[in-house]
Amino acid sequence: MNAAVRRGRFAPSPTGPLHFGSLVAAVGSYLDARAGGGEWLLRIEDIDAPRNVPGAEASILRTLEALGFAWDGVPLYQSTRLDRYRAALDALCQQDDAYPCACSRREVADSRQGPSVDGGRVYPGTCRAGLPPGRTARAWRLRVPDAAVGFVDRVQGEVVQNLEREVGDFVLLRADGQFAYQLAVVVDDAESGVTDVVRGADLIDSTPRQIWLQQRLGAATPRYAHLPVATNAAGEKLSKQTLAPAVDAAGGVPLLARALRFLGQAVPAEIDRMPPSEFWPWAIAHWRLDAVPRRRGIVCPDQCLPP
């Protein structure tokens, strides 16, 4: 990979069709990459096989294509890269950065540790010095430091975490044999030469973990920009679980313009009447990341929510 080439990426999970919140992330990452003269890569994060919905991946690709998104190269599928994740885990084990853990989710939840940034419990380090007598490994975890790990987000500003106190040693390989998101995304971004990650702010608290993992694997750290996520009136992120409706590509340019307005961009009313062939050049030329609201979530307009 040529390190001088700026590379962004969009990485949907095929757990359901594209909804408005996903479209916002796609628009923001696409415009940021193209406005910087860079490439835009597409990755299908289908590593969590039990959650994948049959047909969702094809639906996502059709919707993106119908709305005029053009990605560079062929889509990368995480399900085809298990050997790369295994190699990374093996390297971390050889460095004594990763270790086996016998703890169940219930045991971690019942620990006296405080809540983590993800809303669960900070891992108490039960297996850090070795498996307790009579216990067998269920998962593999990464050792984290009792030190600040942070970055300056291009939208949200400075983010700093003490990983040991706020997260604890985190899972790389789950008890069900599935590789964890944190490991897969770091390996994929590094090997794809991703330089700029633009994604939803629901993932901002996992970024210090990814940075620490990058450091342990000797990978470069991309620049990060976390966009506000679209929420319903209750403040819940739009998702399959909150019954977010699928994006209808027939919405065309007015739908894309709605995503731009959600991201704080100045979009004249006449833009809604543009054909797609004119919309994308206009949007790329007028993209301003500094206009994106410095908020983690914004209530979606009524037309984005289920009836």
- pLDDT tens digit string along 56-107? 999 999 999 999 999 999 999 999 999 999 999 999 999 999 999 999 989 9
Provide the residue ranges of all domains of the chain, joining segments of one domain with +: 7-80+228-304, 96-191+201-220
The Cα 147–Cα 166 span in angstroms is 11
Give just the sign of the alpha carbon dihedral 140, 45, 188, 289: negative
The predicted structure's pLDDT at residue 14: 93
The predicted structure's pLDDT at residue 1: 40
* Residue where the block lists tokens 């990755």: 43
Task: Tell me the CATH number for domain 7-80+228-304.
Answer: 3.40.50.620
DSSP structural state of residue 180 = P
Instruction: Judge if 7-80+228-304 and 96-191+201-220 fold alike in CATH terms.
Output: yes
* Residue where the block lists tokens 């062929």: 74
The predicted structure's pLDDT at residue 303: 56
The predicted structure's pLDDT at residue 243: 65
CATH C-level class of 96-191+201-220: alpha beta
Is the pTM value of this prediction over 0.85? yes
* Residue where the block lists tokens 């095929």: 14
Token pair, residue 199, equals 């994604």
Positions of the chain with pLDDT under 50: 1-3, 307
Token pair, residue 91, equals 């390297």
The Cα 96–Cα 86 span in angstroms is 15
The Cα 240–Cα 15 span in angstroms is 8
The predicted structure's pLDDT at residue 50: 86
